[in-house]
A and B are shown apart, each in its own frame.
Chain A
Amino acid sequence: MPGLGTSFGRGGATNYQQDLANSDCIVIEGSNMAECHPVGFQWVMEAKARGAKIIHIDPRFTRTSAVADLHVPIRAGADIAFLGGLINHVLDNDLYFKEYVVAYTNASALVNEEFQDTEDLDGLFSGYDPDKQHYDQKSWQYEPEEEPHSGHDDSAKAREQEEGSQHEDVKRTDQAQAAGSGGPPIAAKPKRDETLQHPRTVFQILKRHYSRYTPEMVAEVCGIEPQVFRTVADWVTSNSGRDRTTAWVYSVGWTQHTVGAQYIRTASILQTLLGNMGRPGGGIMALRGHASIQGSTDIPTLFNLLPGYLQMPNAIQHHSLDDFVAESQGVAGFWGNMRSYMVSLLKAWWGDAATAENDFCFDYLPRINGDHSSYRSIADMIEGKVKGYFLVGENPVIGHANGRMQRFGLANLEWLVVRDLQMIESASFWKDAAEIETGELVTDQIATEVFFLPAASHVEKEGTFTQTQRLLQWRHKAVEPPGDARSDLWFYFHLGRILRERLKDSTDPRDRPLLDLTWDYPTHGETADPSGEAVLREINGVGPDGRALSSYMELKDDGSTTSGCWIYCGVFADEVNQAARRKPGREQGPAALEWGWAWPLNRRLLYNRASADPDGKPWSERKKYVWWDEEAGKWDGIDVPDFEPKKRPDYVPPEGAKGPAALAGTDPFVMQSDGKAWLFAPKGLQDGPLPTHYEPAESPVKNGLYGVQANPTREQIDAPWNRTNPSSSSVFPFTFTTYRLTEHHTAGGMSRTLPYLAELQPEFFVEVSPELAEERGLEHGGWATIVSGRSAVEARVLVTERMRPMHVGGTVVHQIGVPYHWGSTGISTGDSGNDLTGVVMDPNVHIQESKAATCDIRPGRRPRGKALIEFMEDYRKRAGMESGLVPVGGRAPMDSVSGEAKPGRGPAAVQPGE
């Protein structure tokens, strides 16, 4: 997550779940932890039993709220205003941890004279280009202490690099996500004023920026009463400092917004000011929803990344390996060794074919130039640009925003491969899509050829999941998969093998990368299942002697080492599968260092150097964690120190030092190029160096803080199949938020199909307040139709006082809860909540805003067939929106993408009356 990555240097959760038990106060915001992570929640309950205060901030009163000390209802989409209010409270009342802030953050850094804040520009920062809808970030930079560093000796070349990084096509490539394990490189260390008084210090800018986030403003924007706000502020600040720590817990309730990365940034700033980072019981816990979702960003099946958060090379800047590493080459911190990580990756992939002479096959890598993320690819599918699609353990027709758009995408492919345990809607769309009923799709006119391949379950294959706290845990194989079911390892290995066989006589240079690929994994069993351990060992990497390496610090840039994912280097240390270690928790210390293996280098609590003061002594006995042992001349503690083990606290880097050596003994954020936690992000985020409250793209109210209504850099795709509701619309007056329930799993393929889970939450329902029920004539247990610009769905109604109308900006905002698990297959079926959500995205990470959008609700079931098209078109017309009609097959082109005009119209649309 770039919110954490740009703040601290790594994108992963900063702490581990068990450590929550050490917290004195836990704020769960943007997460429904008790419902979505019940077993992890035991640590919250443990903290509570030890006397910690538990606060749940959420639009709904949930099962988490039920056991919290305080539930604070907040209007969906207003968290930055709330957290900004807390920051203002902390700064205004001098409640920040001064020594920590001065020593470990960039509070004292001076920012460029040209920087202008949202205070000056009514909601915009300096550098905004209204035509391209993005920022030129040059004016956000630090005022440098020395001449800017460049990896290129040639200054013209350096300038070209810098220009390149501001190219709009580069910006759309999610560079911020590359801060997953290494903060954005900065050219030079900033000038500093440790008194924090200079008006251009980060500290003073921060103060000015948040000065308008008063308790009254928080009440106005969030619907949170000042006295409740004060209770939260008091609990949090009185439980932060030398002796006490507060933890923040978030999940997709924060990420799924058009300003999602900035939500996390706001919490990062607050937690940094309070001195809660890198300390036991503190931190920011990112709770992730899938077994290996952390793993799938570490070793990314993501368009913009290579393993270990190395960027996917882009066509504008990266013509060679030198270009690729130029920005980071030699910068302070561990990111400065990026060339070693990249060369080791290339060696792992192309083995002997990768030589210093051929740039280690750098040119074998395809280049990106813009947004190639999932939603954009779906839009391209609808336009017929994508031929084939693999769906591997995902059911986007239900689990992704705008189900109708997803189905149109699938219906316009040449072929589709689906790998899953059970039949899912994304495989059977050609016969059971909602659009078949409306006539927008016709089964025998859909050309998509579909291969459904049964997948092996988690007990039928060996391998590692990386769970939410960056911990890799090996699963042993228990039984063989049934019938044709195979592991995905099997599928990709054999697909690759067949492709290489087909091409073995090819002389086409484009086939070289496939043919030169290292692809000779040992297999076992009748089905020739490749060895997961062999792959894990390749991920770990080997040295010149062919032995597994034990640390990424051993990686070299001369081609003598390999590593398929440098941050995982060490998982196979000493030729032992460290992820398979299972020393019982009760037989080891609190960090349980011998259970599984966590990146980086088995550290469980990141930035733990900050748990000691600048001299290396624990801030307090109560919060002792890692400290400098003068006698032994090294760092010690109950965890692996997240610091060079022998770097003294009083170490000052010599003039001209590079890489890790350029970090001082008081720089705990070792992946940042200045070693500091970033209160202000001079680089790395597309939508501003400081989080600013913007309304969701679809909001029932006006932005109470600035003239700018919504994130000016949000990414939008406008097309008949993706219309955005106008804000403050009387046609779509209510806010809805999507979520999941304990009893189900995301898109439902692993829960709606199981009797014991299906019966526990058997039907699609929505939650409304008694006030809204009365206003709209909704009956408890009866049917309601919920409508957005995308579609209409029907659901049973739960009228509950757990939903509350919010008082915002002088009006009442009603919020509707929409769990999104249902679809047409399985035991428990129903309409899909994600048919309501639209695709409008955060510019940093292309995550859609499904946690706050607008809708209407009315009693009764929805129209069916053609009548539904008519019903929807009437809604859109009344709301002043463009038509949502599409031709049969759904192939309606995009009108625009984030302000870029898209010419041309497709064939005639299916009319309501047809």
Chain B
Amino acid sequence: MKTWLDAWPVYRQLTGSDPLGRGKAARSEATESVVSRTATADRVVQSVCPYCAVGCGQKVFVKDEKVVQIEGDPDSPISRGRLCPKGSASKQLVTSPTRETKVRYRRPYGTEWEDLDLDTAMQMIADRVLDARRKGWQDEDGGRRVRRTMGIASLGGATLDNEENYLMKKLYSAMGAIQIENQARI
């Protein structure tokens, strides 16, 4: 009875220090149990904003293997914890329900997307790389030794990691592909 009465705002209001019921007496159960999801995260991971090249530090809060918050990292000497609207939308970026999470395949002359297994897709791509490499192969061009393929081109890198760019350039060069480009020219 006492407990029930304590929980009743009007009782608290009439007996406590908040006779107008505008503060302490009005606190609800939810309010009493409010907790910041930064406090309940399982871990916080230091990261870097993926948008422009300022390189703002980000803190990624993870709970139950899901990203629950991304905000500026105050430790960063560059950004000092601040983020622009895009950086502030990072959680929406990585948790977006419209993100594609399955391989999509469009066959030649096809009119719709189809499903495709990732491993199968990798094998099919490897087939096509070898085929295109062969079709576009040149040992010489204009009488000069070039040993390359003009059958394969690639675009992208400015949004990727250095390590990724490195493997790309290394692999493409080894297979003889030279038409390798990225946004850096744009």
Contacts and interface: CB of A to CB of B under 8 A. Distances in A.
- Pick from B80, B113, B152, B171 the residue with the most CB of A within 10 Å: B171
B111 to A, nearest CB: 5
Give the interface residue-count category, chain B.
35 or more
Contacts of A316: 144
Interface in B71-118: 74-80, 82-90, 92-94, 96, 98-111, 113, 116, 118
A315 B141 contact: yes
A560 interface: no
Contact of B128 (A288, A388, A532): A388
A221 interface: no
B101 A454 contact: yes
A590 B179 CA distance: 42
Interface in A373-411: 373-374, 377, 380-381, 385-394, 396, 399-400
Contacts, number: 479
A252 interface: yes
A401 B50 CA distance: 23
A66 to B, nearest CB: 16
B129 A495 contact: yes
Contacts of B51: 290-291, 745, 750
A454 B49 CA distance: 20
B101 A483 contact: yes
A477 interface: yes
B95 to A, nearest CB: 9
Contacts of A399: 183, 186
Interface string A278-320: 0000000001111111111111111100110000100110010
B156 interface: yes
Contacts of B26: none
B183 A756 contact: no
Contacts of B139: 510
A592 interface: yes
B102 to A, nearest CB: 5
B78 A18 contact: yes
A536 B165 CA distance: 11
Contacts of A760: 85
A380 B150 contact: yes
Contacts of A38: 84-85
B11 interface: no
B136 to A, nearest CB: 6
Nearest to A169: B142
Contact of B163 (A312, A477, A489): A489
A50 interface: no
Interface string A461-492: 10111111101110111111011111111001
Interface string A227-261: 00000000000000000000000001000100000
A496 B101 CA distance: 23
B85 A386 contact: no
Interface stretch (A189-197, A333-341, A420-428, A674-682): A420-428
A93 interface: no
Contacts of A742: 84-86
A366 B148 contact: yes
B16 interface: no
B180 A539 contact: no
A36 B157 CA distance: 20
Nearest to B135: A387
B53 A393 contact: no
Contacts of A536: 162-163
B177 interface: yes
A291 B52 contact: yes
B42 to A, nearest CB: 10
A248 to B, nearest CB: 17
Contacts of B76: 585, 595
A876 interface: no
A468 B126 contact: no
A389 B155 CA distance: 8
B54 A17 contact: yes
Interface stretch (B2-10, B29-37, B61-69): B61-69
A845 B146 CA distance: 22
Contact of A517 (B78, B129, B163, B174): B174
Interface in A145-171: none
B170 A517 contact: yes
B169 A458 contact: no
A392 B162 CA distance: 13
B45 A757 contact: no
A446 B163 contact: no
B157 A750 contact: no
A773 to B, nearest CB: 29
Contacts of A421: 93, 96, 99-100
Contacts of B183: 289-290, 293, 296, 394, 399, 746
B53 A756 contact: no
Contacts of A377: 153, 179, 181
A449 B172 CA distance: 21
Contacts of B136: 385-387
30 contacts: A39-B56, A39-B79, A289-B52, A292-B161, A293-B183, A301-B181, A315-B145, A367-B146, A380-B150, A387-B132, A391-B156, A422-B100, A431-B111, A450-B105, A458-B49, A461-B161, A465-B53, A467-B54, A468-B55, A471-B78, A473-B55, A484-B101, A485-B100, A488-B161, A492-B171, A493-B167, A498-B122, A510-B147, A517-B170, A595-B78
Given A292-B160, A467-B55, A489-B164, 6 more contacts: A296-B165, A300-B169, A445-B109, A454-B103, A475-B161, A513-B173
9 smallest A-B Cβ distances: which pairs? A585-B77, A467-B55, A463-B161, A483-B101, A392-B156, A301-B157, A366-B148, A592-B77, A387-B132
